[in-house]
Every structure is written in C-alpha cells, then in structure tokens.
C-alpha cells in the first residue's frame, strides 16, 4: 500500500521531480568545479539588466552553491513544490514557477537600481551581491497554489509563508530575500485568477458571496441545534392540525 501511494505521488508530480533533478545535478556540478565554476554566468545582480544577461533570470532559479544549501533546497522542492503541483497541476506549476520567480527577480533588481540612484545605503551596499536562489519561485508557487487549499489550510499556508518571508527580509536583508518576499506577493495576488487553481468541489463551487456571508449564521444555528436547549417539538392543535405552540425541552448535549 505504501509503495503504491509513493508510486502514485511520483507519477503525479513530473514537474517537481524534473526541477529537483535539475537543481541537484546543477548543484553537484558546481560543487565539483569548485573555484573554477563561472558563477557570474549563472547568478543575477543589477548588472544583469544593464548588461542584458537575460538568461540569468532563469539560471539563478535552478542552481545553488554549497552542500547545505543544496540539501535544504532539494527537501524544500520535494515538499513544497510537490504539494503545490498536487493542488494546481503540472502545467500551472511550471508556468507559475517561472512567472513568479522571473517577475520577482526583475522587480527586485529594478528596485535595487532605483534606490541605488537615490543613494539609499542598503541598495548601494548590495549592488554587487550575486544571487542564486531557487526558493524564490518556490515561495511564489506555494503562495499561488494556496488558493486551492481548504479555508483552514489556506490561512495556515499563507500565514506561514508570509511570516517566513518577512522574517528573512527583516533580519537578513539579502537581495535574495527581497526577491522571495516579492514572489510571495505576486503569488498571493495571482491566486484564484484564470491561471490559478483547479475547479473547486461542487459544494464549494455553488457557494456565492451571499452564501459565504450566510455561512457563519448557518454554523451558529447548527451550534444552537446541538446545544442543551433545543426547539424540537411542535404541538399541533387537535382541531385544526396547525402548529399552536412551540415548547422547549431540556436535552442532553451529544
């Protein structure tokens, strides 16, 4: 049974396995090359815009340096991207992965150039910092896919990912974490759009905005129905057969 579930999980997540394999292979190659690796051809920084090195917007999302970073990235990809692909499908996963990562990196680099021209200290200090971070598109994809989760898990995932992004940005202040925070914002904005999520279950698809407003009232009535005092019996008149009196009887709470 466990093997069957594992095979089904692997079969339903080709994008997750492909991206993880590329990152694993690329990281192993960079580790093997060591100091001889030409990282400037893969990393992204503000000069990528001025020098028109557009390919770095993609390569920076698929390579990582260091054994520890590689291990953390592979585990995060299998867990996070695997969850997202299971929610929104393979095609939407690859599109969201590339769109959120590329757009976030481009916006982040634009902000760095803008604030560097305004003589902002942080932007000037990180102007020449190279970035390789596959976690940026991963965070954007998870944020986008959260729209397909249940309301409870949607809140949990969004609170968790927004909290992590904000903490990293405030306490590490690296350009990579700026891109990650922007990717989360893009993912949250894009969630539920035409590219967004799979069709909701029939029970959720029938819910309208008006129905959403009535949901708390329905839950409250269900709570009242299951409480100690419950209107449960209607005494009918022997003559007319119409309801004549509503009584309340004490009932044990289940």
Domains, the chain, in order of start with CATH, read 2-202 (1.20.1540.10), 207-250 (no CATH)
Residue 12 or residue 194, greater confidence: 12
Contact 42, 132 (CB under 8 A): yes
Question: How do the residues of the chain divide into helix, strand and coil, expressed in percent and rounded to 5?
Answer: 70, 5, 25
Report yes or no: 77 and 23 within 8 Å, Cβ to Cβ. Answer: yes
Confidence of residue 233 (pLDDT cuts 50, 70, 90): very low
Give me the count of residues in the chain.
254
The gap between the terminal CA atoms of the chain, to the nearest Å, is: 36
| Per-residue pLDDT, 222 | 61
Reported as a single tens digit per residue, the pLDDT across 24-52 is 998 888 888 876 667 777 888 888 877 78
C-alpha 164: how far from its chain's center?
Answer: 12
Rounded percentage of the chain residues whose pLDDT exceeds 70: 74
Query: For the whole prediction, is pTM greater than 0.85?
Result: no
Query: How much is the pLDDT for 226?
Result: 56
pLDDT score of 201: 44
Top pLDDT among 203 and 172 is at 172
Q: Is the pLDDT of residue 251 over 90?
A: no
Q: How confident is the model at residue 121 (pLDDT cuts 50, 70, 90)?
A: confident
Say yes or no to pLDDT of 66 above 80: yes
Helix (H, G, I), strand (E, B) or coil at 46: coil
Task: Look at phi and psi of residue 132 and say left if phi exceeds 0, alpha if psi is from -120 to 50, else beta.
Answer: beta
Give the Cα-Cα-Cα angle 24, 29, 35 (nearest 5 degrees): 130
- Cα 216 to Cα 183: distance, rounded to the nearest angstrom: 33
> Mean pLDDT, to the nearest integer, of 154-182?
90
Maximum mean pLDDT: which of 33-42, 126-135, 177-186, 190-199: 177-186
């Amino acid at each position: 049974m466990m093997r069957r579930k594992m095979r089904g999980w692997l079969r339903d997540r080709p994008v997750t396995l492909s991206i993880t394999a590329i990152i694993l292979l690329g990281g192993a190659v960079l580790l093997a090359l060591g100091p001889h690796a030409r990282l400037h051809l893969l990393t992204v920084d503000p000069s990528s815009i001025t020098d028109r090195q557009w390919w770095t917007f993609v390569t920076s999302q698929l390579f990582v340096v260091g054994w520890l970073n590689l291990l953390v990235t592979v585990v995060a990809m299998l867990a996070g991207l695997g969850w997202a692909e299971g929610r929104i499908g393979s095609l939407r996963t690859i599109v969201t992965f590339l769109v959120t990562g590329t757009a976030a990196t481009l916006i982040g680099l634009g902000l760095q150039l803008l604030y560097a021209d305004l003589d902002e200290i942080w932007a000037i200090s990180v102007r020449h910092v190279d970035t390789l971070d596959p976690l940026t598109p991963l965070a954007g994809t998870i944020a986008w896919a959260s729209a397909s989760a249940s309301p409870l898990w949607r809140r949990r995932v969004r609170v968790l990912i927004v909290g992590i992004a904000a903490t990293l940005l405030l306490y590490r202040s690296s350009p990579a974490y700026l891109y990650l925070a922007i990717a989360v914002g893009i993912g949250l904005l894009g969630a539920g759009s035409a590219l967004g999520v799979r069709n909701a279950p029939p029970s959720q698809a029938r819910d309208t905005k008006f129905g959403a407003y009535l949901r708390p009232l329905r839950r409250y009535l269900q709570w009242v129905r299951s409480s100690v005092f419950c209107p449960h019996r209607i005494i009918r008149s022997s003559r007319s057969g119409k309801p004549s009196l509503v009584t309340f009887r004490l009932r044990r709470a289940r």
